[in-house]
Amino acid sequence: MNKSNKKLKLAIICSGGNSPGMNNAVIGFAKKCAQCNIDAYYFLWGYKGITNNDIHPCNLRYLEEFTNRGNTIIGSGRLPSFATDVNVRKKAVKNLKKNGIDCLLVVGGEGSYQGAYKLSQLGAKVIAIPATIDNDVNSTQYTIGFDTCLNQVSKLINDITDCFSSHDGINLIEIMGRACPDLTINTGIGSNIYMVTKYNILKTEDFIKIVKHCKSQGKRAINFVVTEKIYGTNNLPTLASIAKKIEATTGHMTRVTTIGYIQRGGTPSARDRLIANYLVDKAVDLAKQGVFNKAVGINNKQIVAIELKRAVTMKRKSHNRYLVNKFNKINLQ
């Protein structure tokens, strides 16, 4: 019940780059609301669905069929005009009011958090839940989807290594993650391969030096895992041109693999399913208590909630740079 003793009415959206585990957040939401006698709704396609009033009641028996399906059955979306045009956001607030939504749960990444905060500034009540493969939400140490994505990438790198070991070859593997190096670092450490991130951008000569060093020690496949959007921008050569030079200089077959969207799909891992349920449980509890405009997240393995305003302005605390240097040195042994 809300303060006026009316049954509480909550809605959820998935927003931004979709990620595995979003379905589990939606299903967890529908279950928790059913348990707490709260009316549960979702809008399709993120902020776009709110502005188009594309609202639907949660049908628990239907939604739970998607427990082991990747990403999100209610659709996610990017709506650039939501960021730039206050009238688009006002329309969303109007639709939330019209539908009597007491609080909107926004499941998404950093951009979606900004959108949620701006909705709250227009009077809507919101709670943000972190979900993106990039792990780039500064107010939490973990985002739903990261673990599944990391496992996808690690599995693909196993397969690439099988292939390149058989050719004595070199592979420059570009993975997603936006500006955030977390996926690259966790892949590099877990798979024992050299990582290239914004913290340690290599020149072509550096790649060649590492290849020569590893080959002199008898290493067969040599992989580099590289964060996307570094090479081919900011006056840096493309990975394809670097690969050509490595091959010309060392005589070893050198190729580029861009992993792309395969890494963003897939059956959600047990960890992502669990965390999605814990985070949504916390968010609904907050709404039940009449506590809004919060960002839920994970800090030192605890589920926490902080002011959304603080969440969207926080800087990231990170030891990433240290890890890159430390494990790259180990991987060169």
In this complex, which beta carbon is closest to ligand ADP, that of residue 111 or of residue 188? 111
In this complex, which beta carbon is closest to ligand F6P, that of residue 146 or of residue 207? 146
In this complex, which beta carbon is closest to ligand ADP, that of residue 49 or of residue 111? 111
Question: Is the distance from CB of 292 to CB of 103 less than 8 angstroms?
Answer: yes
Give the C-alpha distances (Å, rounded to integers) separating 213 from 151, 197, 207, 250, 332: 29, 20, 10, 11, 8
Q: Cβ of residue 268: shortest distance to ligand F6P, in angstroms?
A: 15
Of 71, 95, 112, 277, which lies in the binding site for ligand ADP, with binding defined by CB under 6 A?
112
Q: Cβ of residue 136: shortest distance to ligand F6P, in angstroms?
A: 8
Is residue 134 part of the annotated active site? The answer reads yes
Q: Output the six-digit token pair for 5.
A: 């003793």
Q: Is the alpha carbon torsion for 64, 67, 73, 74 positive or negative?
A: positive
In this complex, which beta carbon is closest to Mg ion, that of residue 138 or of residue 254? 138
- Under the binding rule (CB under 6 A), the answer on residue 293 touching ligand ADP is no
Backbone angles phi, psi at 153, to 5 degrees: -65, -45
Q: Cβ of residue 18: shortest distance to ligand F6P, in angstroms?
A: 8
- Rounded CA-CA distance 282/287 in Å is 9
Rule CB under 6 A: which of 122-151 touch ligand ADP? 132
**Terminal-residue alpha carbon distance, the chain:** 62
The one catalytic residue in 102, 134, 182, 272 is 134
Question: 106 - beta bridge partners?
Answer: 13, 128
Rule CB under 5 A: which of 99-118 touch Mg ion? 109-110
User: For the window 202-241, what string marks contact with Mg ion as x by the rule CB under 5 A?
Assistant: ----------------------------------------
Q: Cβ of residue 202: shortest distance to ligand ADP, in angstroms?
A: 27
Contact residues toward ligand F6P (CB under 6 A) are 17, 109, 132-134, 176-178, 228, 264
- Rounded CA-CA distance 71/264 in Å is 8
DSSP letter for each residue of 103-172: EEEEEE-HHHHHHHHHHHHTT--EEEEEB-TT---TT-S--BTHHHHHHHHHHHHHHHHHHHHTTT-EEE
State CA 151 to chain mean position distance.
Answer: 13
| Number of residues binding to Mg ion, judged by CB under 5 A | 2
Q: Which residue is nearest to ligand ADP (CB)?
A: 111
Largest separation between any pair of C-alpha atoms in the chain: 75
Provide the annotated active-site residues: 134
Binding site for ligand ADP (CB under 6 A): 15-17, 47, 78-80, 82-83, 108-112, 114-115, 118, 132
